Structures are given as structure tokens and as C-alpha cells.
Chains A and B, each alone.
Chain A
Amino acid sequence: MSTYSLSDGLASGAPRSSRAPLLATWLRDSGIGVLASVAWIALGLSCLWWEDVGDWSRTHSLGIAAFVIAAAALFGTVGADYLGSAGRALRQRAPWLVALGAFLTLWEVATAKFAWLPLPFFPPPQAIIEVYTDDLPKLLDSVIASVKLQLGGYIIGAAVGFLTGVSIGWSRAVGYWVHPVLRFIGPLPATAWLPIAFFTFPSSWSASTFLIALATGFPVTVLTWSGVASVSSAYYDVARTLGAKPSFLVLKVAIPAALPHVFVGLFMGLGSSFAVLVVAEMIGVKAGLGWYLQWAQGWAAYANMYAALIVMSLLCSGAITLLFAIRDRLLVWQKGTVKW
């Protein structure tokens, strides 16, 4: 019997083999999209099927939104060929849509529906959405305050650090005086200055700006300096034989050659200044996302904390993306830069 079925299969294999690859390519291209759709339908169902264990007003909206996303994922990936680059991008990210849908479903079930996770500390997704819809003005104010403080301090710190780094790298005399100071003060975490800064500066805002500038300035200085110091003397020789004056050597040789290092410094400065920003807002400045976090903790409003954390992470990541975009623009001449 088995031999018959085998030969049957072989005989009818010819027409089927032309369809099997079609199915296979369809599965490969759209299968994950369908899976993503399933995951988000599961989220929608999990929202609407069971009763919430607590009192949340956005459960129903979240369920509907999940169905909408499921539909979009399905049509987007299946019809990707008609959607151009957007369709291709969607298909490429489909695995992430699956993971996200599954994660949110699990989260929803583990918190709002069965309270497997202790409740006030682990709010369900709808509680966080509720924060975004109902506490938006306060959250926005905090975002604006944080961005203003961070931007001011960062720009000052980056500018001062860059100029200091170039001066130390270029001039022996400046290096003689600045280097020891840099070694003494630089490695100190900027937050250690917090108590002193807050009563020596006229306002907590200026104190925080100073601290953020300090946190930014140190890595920018050191890396700019090392960038300028490591410029091959062959470049200077070439420029000098072509008639370059010292100002040309600094502006058109040393600085462009050091720029890749400078951007590493700017990147590191960004990271450490975020840390200072949050701490300064928590302790001194009564505004911004750090303060919002602190405030939310005081009221045991855990959903607000998660909401603020998500916003903060998006902002920090956005800032780094922006920095990398600027770098890619200025350093087009480099080959093989890291894609953020």
C-alpha cells in the first residue's frame, strides 16, 4: 500500500510542484504578517474577553486599537507589493510586530485579567494609555522643560568641550595649564557637584545647566583633544609645503581630521548628560520628566512612571538618532560608519 501511495504521490507530483513554490513564496512573504495579525487579534480578544480585575477606562479602546493594528498588519503585509517602500518596510518589521503583539497580550493577561503580577507595581497597558490621554498636558510640559534644560546644557558643554579640546591638542601652553585641571575635575561624576551647585548658583535651572554642561564637556574635551593630537604629521607637512598658515592648519587640517573622535565624545557626553538631567530634575528643578517620575512615585502612580519612562527612552533614543544623522552628514567621507 505504501508503495502505491508513494508512486501516486510521484505521479501527481508534477502539477503540484508548480503550485508548491507559489505557496512557499507566499508563506515566506506574508506568513509572518499573518502571524503578526494573529498576535494582535489575540491582544484584542484578551482585552475584550475577560473582565478587568481593576477599574481601567481604556480597556475597550485598547481592544479596538489592537484589532485595527491586526487588520493593518494583515493587509499591509499581504498587499505589500502594492504599497511600495512602505510595504517593504512593513514586511521587514513584521517579526517585531509578532513579538510586540505577543508581549502585549501576555502583559495584558498577566496584569489586568488575572493579576499574576502584583498590581499597583505592574499596571496593564490600558493604564499607561490612560496616562497619555488624560495626563497629556502635564506630561507635555515636562517633556518641554526637559528638552529645554538638556539642549541648553548640552550645547554649552559641547561647545566649550570642543574649544578646550582643540586648544589643548594644539597648544602646549594651554595643555600645560588645562590638562591637570581636566584630570582632577573630569573623572568626578557631575552629579557629585549637585549639592554645591544648587546653593552656589542663583537658580536651580542654571545649576542644572552647569552640571549638564560639565557632564557633556568632559568626554567631548578629552576626545577632541585626542583626535587633534593623533592627526598624522604627514597631513601638516603636506599643508605646510602648499603654503598653509597656522590658522589653516587648525581649521582645515586638525579639526576635520579630529571630527570622528569629536563625535564619539559628543555621543558619550549625551549619555552622561541624560543621567545628570534626570537626577537634577528629581532633586532640584521642579519640572521635567525626572521630576514627573519623582512626583508619580510620591503618589504611587506607577502607570504614570512607566508612561514617563517610555517617553524618556524615546527622547534619548531620538537625540542619539539625531546626533548620528548629523555625523553621517558631516562624515560622508568615512567608509563603514555604524548605523544606529
Chain B
Amino acid sequence: MVAAAALAEPIVHPSVGAALDIEQVSHAFDIDGAALPVLDDVSISVEPGEFVALLGPSGCGKSTLLRLVAGLDKPKAGSLREDEARITRPHPSRVVVFQDPTLFPWRTVWDNVALGLEAQGILKSQRQRVDDALDLVGLASFRNAYPHQLSGGMAQRVALARALVNDPKILILDEPLGKLDSLTRITMQAELVSLWQRKGFTTLLVTHDAEEALVLAGRVIVFSERPARVKADIRVDRPYPRHRGDPYLADLRRQILGLLGLDATW
């Protein structure tokens, strides 16, 4: 079948991100027979290796858009392309890290990270990659622990390692740091940037935190209320590492919060 053939293909440049084209995508859910429009004519074009943050009110349709990019659902209208190839199904070149780490509780940390390679049938020859991924997130000493023995931040790092071990071309992050305490969050934001700089994958990050978006991303896309429409596409032209107190970023932040309807207080 198509998926098997696609999986067997060697990934030629594992460290190079893919381009992502979201073209006039609309989506709706059926709720008790009535259509609930969630995405309305969304078009976003992402360059290879770009770090794009998606920002919008809660419930506007950000996660829905990510599921479409991952290939978990099909859009009602429009198309999505990864390097010109139409996205029709999930593929390990596009890996999602969800808000909940969703580790498999019956697998050890190592086995959780090994999941992708095992599912693709290449674990036997590539066990080293699992060890490397665990080293990358600094959890090598927890390889034999079970998920219930981990803290929230550690679990999320394992989820990140589980995604990175596949050398994705597009890393899809759905509020992965949303539930962490602020200290762990700041540490992991820095880790994320340095990983992205080293590996060069294209990154799509959904966040509800304007500051997080500005510290991490090269581009911030602001959505409207549901059904989500692209309200603004803001370029963040600042070198890394960025400083939270940077007046340029503070200015952009005020602008973004204004777009989200918070101008009165800010």
C-alpha cells in the first residue's frame, strides 16, 4: 500500500525541514446534525525550517488545524501540502506533540520513545537513535521508569523525545508547555529553540501565550474567533536568544493582545 511504500523510502535529508502549504482550508464539525464551522478559508505558507507560532482565542480551531496538518483528519475544503505532496494521512515526517504528553502508561520511557521506530519496523537496526533522543532531552537515566513515575515536565520531555526520534521534517506542537509551571516552561522554551536551531525542522507551535510565541517564533499568526480566520501574520525579526524584556517584543505583544481584543487593559 501507499503508506507502506512511503514509509520504506529512505529520508534523504532528515535534518532539513519541509515546506508546508495550507491552501484555502475550511473545516466544520457535525454536532447533532448542525454544522459547526471551525476553520474558514485559512491559507498559510510556511518555508522549510521556519518556526511559526499560531495564536488565537481558546476554541477557535487551532488544534483542528494541527490535526489536518498531521493528516489525522481531512479538511472539508481546501488542501494541505508538505513539500508539494498532498497530505492525506499521518506520516512520521510530521509528528505531533500534544498538550497532554499522552505517554503509553504500560511502556517504559525508553519504549515510549522507541514507539515510532517500532511502528515503522526499523527499531532493531536503529536502537541508538532512541538513546540519542533520550540524551537530547536529558532523560537517559530514566529510560526504565514508567510514565506514572515522572513529573509533568519530564513526561512532556519524553513526549518531545518520542517525536524527535523520528527526525520529523515538520514538528507540530499543540500547546506542549501549557500545563507546566512557569520555571519549567522557560527552561523548555530555551531547549526547544536550541533543538530547532540544531535540527532545522519546520516548527508549527500552537500557544495561548503571546510572550511564548514572540520569544520562540520567527512568525506569529493570529486567528480570529471561531470559525478561525487568519487575522494577522506578524514577522518577528529578532535574533536568538531573545530577551523577554526586549522593547521590540513588548511592542509586538501589545499589538497582538490588541488583535485578540485585550487593548483596553494593555
| Chain A interface residues (CB < 8 Å from chain B) | 232, 234-235, 237-245, 248, 252-253, 256-257, 259, 331-335
- A238-B96, A238-B98, A333-B148 given as contacts; is B7 within 8 A of A243 (CB)? yes
B-to-A contact residues, CB < 8 Å: 3-4, 7, 67, 70-72, 90-92, 94-96, 98, 100, 102, 104-108, 115-116, 118-120, 146-148, 162, 166
Q: How far is the CB of A328 from chain B (nearest CB, A)?
A: 13
Inter-chain contact B118/A252, CB cutoff 8 Å: yes
Known interface pairs A234-B102, A245-B119; 18 further A-B residue pairs with C-beta atoms within 8 A, sorted by A's residue number = A235-B104, A237-B102, A238-B96, A238-B98, A238-B104, A239-B115, A241-B72, A241-B96, A242-B95, A242-B115, A243-B7, A243-B90, A243-B91, A252-B118, A333-B105, A333-B106, A333-B107, A333-B108
Q: In this complex, which of B70, B98, B119, B146 has the most chain A Cβ atoms within 10 angstroms of its Cβ?
A: B119
A113 to B166, CA, bound (A): 79
Cα–Cα distance between A335 and B116 once the two chains are bound (Å):
26
Q: Which residues of B contact A244 (CB under 8 A)?
A: 115, 119
10 nearest A-B pairs in the assembled complex, by CB-CB distance: A242-B116, A244-B119, A243-B92, A243-B120, A240-B90, A256-B106, A241-B90, A333-B106, A333-B146, A243-B119
Contact yes or no, B162 A235, CB < 8 A: no
Determine the chain A residues whose CB is within 8 A of the CB of B102 once the complex forms.
232, 234-235, 237-238
User: Which residue of chain B lies nearest to A237 when distances are taken between CB atoms in the complex?
Assistant: B72
Contact (Cβ within 8 A) A243 B116? yes
A335-B119 contact in complex given A238-B96, A238-B98, A242-B162, C-beta closer than 8 Å: no
- Pick the contact of A242 from B100, B106, B166 — CB < 8 Å? B166
Central interface residue in A237, A243, A257, A335, by most chain B CB within 10 Å: A243
Query: Bound state CA distance, A234 and B105, in angstroms?
Result: 13
Q: A234-B100, A248-B119, A335-B148 are in contact. Are A241 and B95 (CB under 8 A)?
A: yes
The answer to whether A234 and B115 touch (CB under 8 A), given A241-B72, A242-B166, is: no
Give chain B nearest CB distance to A245 CB in angstroms. 7
CA distance in complex: A259, B116 (Å): 22
- Cβ of B119 and Cβ of A242 under 8 Å apart? yes
Give, as a whole number of angstroms, the nearest-CB distance from B19 to chain A. 19
